Chains A and B, each alone.
Chain A
Amino acid sequence: MFGYFLKRLFSSIPLLIGITFISFILINLAPGSPLNEWADPSLSIEDTQKIKTNLGLNDPVVVQYGRWLKNALKGDLGRSYSYSKPVTAMLKERMPATLLLSISSLILILGITLPLGLISGAKKDSFFDNFVLIFSFIGLSIPTFWLGLMLILGFSLKLNILPTSGFIDPQLSEASLWIQLIDISKHLALPLLTIVIGGLASLTRYHRFGIIKILSQDYILAAKARGISKTKLLFIHAFKNASIPIITILGLSLPGLIGGSFIIEYIFSWPGMGQLGIASIFSRDYPVIMGSIVFSSILIILGNLFADIAYTYADPRIRLK
């Protein structure tokens, strides 16, 4: 098991290098230089050239990538053009907010999907099942950013019970920890709800389908013949087997979830890495863009890795391969 883990970990290194290489080339092939955005317009052309040479912006892109990679391996992702702070420090600052949002949404999504898909699959074609199916179709089709806007419209602007955006009310910086936590969870509610509704739809559909497929297997029939109760059948026999594909689907849907939460963070001004990433795209802050890509790719690769490991754990047949 540990050997497998190490093997997978090593094989994801070339993947990460590939991702950063492609992103770096694409970003740097762009016409125009980030200096045009950031430099003082009164700078002379010679001075601009000097700064470019100093920053290494005149070297071929591949050389620039090599230098970036060498520094990145040492844990140095460069300095932001706009804030002249180290990129790693900026990402670290943003990490807690992003992790809070993504982990709580993952927990909620799984916590709702598993029972919902189970009941829906077990009561195939019932009113409840149709309701879940239609809901999941709508969830798949609704643009998450618009869903976010509609939630703001309903809960913040019309009902006035939840804040529109931000992380915590700045006036509460002196307040007790409890009051601060309550305020943070109020701010968390709408972005969380948006991500959960968006993420729930496809997973529930897959899980329902998995349950239906398993319930039609021979061993379920055999268990039924042995007089095992329906609850036991569903929860012990069907549930565990159907949760295996869910783990994989969850791993596969990570890029979408992470990409989607970027937009959500942006809409709700949630001070996470996604908001930073989008802001850096707009200001063409290349080192921060690269840092965000590296970070989200690592999250995606790790997510897939854990999904694979959970998979081999849940299904011993795969371990042998």
Chain B
Amino acid sequence: MKKFKPLSLLSLIFLAGLVFLAIFLPLLSNTDPNTFNPDLIGDALAPSLTNWFGTDDLGRDLFIRTFSGARISILVAVVSVSISISIGLILGLISGFSSKAVDSILMRFVDLMMAIPTIFLILTIQVILTPSIWNVMIVIGLTSWMGVTRIVRAEVLSIREQLFITAAKARGISNTKLLFKHILPHTLPPVIVAATLGMGSAILTESVLSFLGLGVQPPDASWGNMLDNSLGYMRESPWMAIVPGTFITLTVLALNILGDDCRAKFNPKES
């Protein structure tokens, strides 16, 4: 795994730059990402020195819109992963720490949720609810906690049998303290890995939803709805489709590389 070190650094720099530009570019720039340019309607400009990523069919600058869309993606990634990690941690701890009956009920529920084609469920819920960015985050969070639950449960089950837990028990430590001070911290490394990878898949799901018109609504920019918007102009203005898709791929790629490197660090045996 040594060879991935420079790639990890590169990923980190890319993500940091993305976050930085996503926060400051829309604030500092005097071009509004959503106001269109009446002179350029219907005539998208190819990337040039004045418009680095070109403009879209309404004459809006794609460079600004890309980073305005990055805000959405980052927000979706962070919020939905926080939701799924919280649920996964709580259920995983309960499942690993409580009686066999509770454990097997919870695990059957996890099996069930995993057998549903989630993207289908997410789409259905999004059509039913009014499409909004908050709904997107909640729905993604509520449908992606199963993997974390399984990981945390497996960790708890193996840690429970370790000698230091027996020692702690012998010292008469309460169950709550045992759980939160001794077991929880040990489950965190794999959870961090799952969170990093989960952010990548949350960004992918958001882009699918917005692409289908069920996520972020125009005129607000998101990478997914920019792609949706590009559909009618693929032949004449392919950059409208290439730019947002490249950013989705690079962002998810960076998160996957980081997640994989973390995993290698936490389990040196596996690498």
Contacts and interface: CB of A to CB of B under 8 A. Distances in A.
B62 to A, nearest CB: 15
Interface stretch (A114-122, A175-183, A240-248, A295-303): A295-303
A14 to B, nearest CB: 8
B248 A260 contact: no
A15 B208 contact: no
Contacts of A27: 124, 128
Interface string A273-316: 00001100110100001001100110011001000000000000
Contacts of A304: 115
For the residues of B in contact with A, the DSSP-based class is: helix
B241 A153 contact: yes
Contact of A145 (B208, B255, B257): B208
A13 B114 CA distance: 15
B245 A296 contact: no
A30 B118 contact: no
Contact of A22 (B116, B207, B208): B116
A146 B253 CA distance: 14
Nearest to B128: A30
B3 to A, nearest CB: 7
B117 interface: yes
A30 B129 CA distance: 7
Contacts of A234: none
Contacts of A284: 127-128
A278 B212 CA distance: 10
B142 to A, nearest CB: 10
B124 A137 contact: no
A80 interface: no
B124 A289 contact: yes
Given A137-B256, A141-B249, A263-B119, A18 B128 contact: no
Contacts of A130: 3
Tier of interface size on chain B? 35 or more
A157 B200 CA distance: 30
A255 B116 contact: yes
A193 B108 CA distance: 35
B53 interface: no
A297 B115 contact: yes
Contacts of B19: none
Contact of A281 (B127, B211, B252): B127
Contacts of B208: 143, 145, 263
A281 B123 contact: yes
B124 A259 contact: no
B111 A15 contact: yes
Contacts of A152: 234
Contact of B234 (A22, A157, A282): A157
B120 A296 contact: yes
Contacts of B211: 145
Interface centre among A26, A146, A149, A152 (most CB of B within 10 A): A146
A209 B267 CA distance: 14
A45 B112 CA distance: 40
Interface string B226-254: 01001100110010011001001110110
B121 interface: yes
B123 A19 contact: no
A150 B242 contact: yes
Contacts of B241: 146, 149-150, 153
B184 interface: no
Nearest to B127: A281
B151 interface: no
Interface string A134-158: 0001101111011001101100010
Interface string B93-118: 00000000000000010011111111
A146 B231 CA distance: 11
Nearest to B126: A281
Closest 10 CB pairs of A and B: A30-B128, A146-B245, A141-B253, A259-B119, A141-B252, A259-B117, A18-B112, A142-B249, A296-B117, A157-B235
Interface of A: 15, 18-19, 22-23, 26-27, 30-32, 125, 130, 137-138, 140-143, 145-146, 149-150, 152-153, 157, 209, 252, 255, 258-260, 262-263, 266, 277-278, 281-282, 284, 289, 292-293, 296-297, 300-301, 304
26 contacts: A19-B112, A19-B115, A19-B116, A22-B113, A22-B116, A23-B121, A31-B128, A137-B256, A140-B253, A141-B256, A146-B241, A146-B248, A149-B234, A150-B242, A150-B245, A153-B241, A255-B115, A259-B120, A262-B119, A278-B123, A292-B120, A293-B121, A296-B120, A297-B116, A300-B117, A304-B115
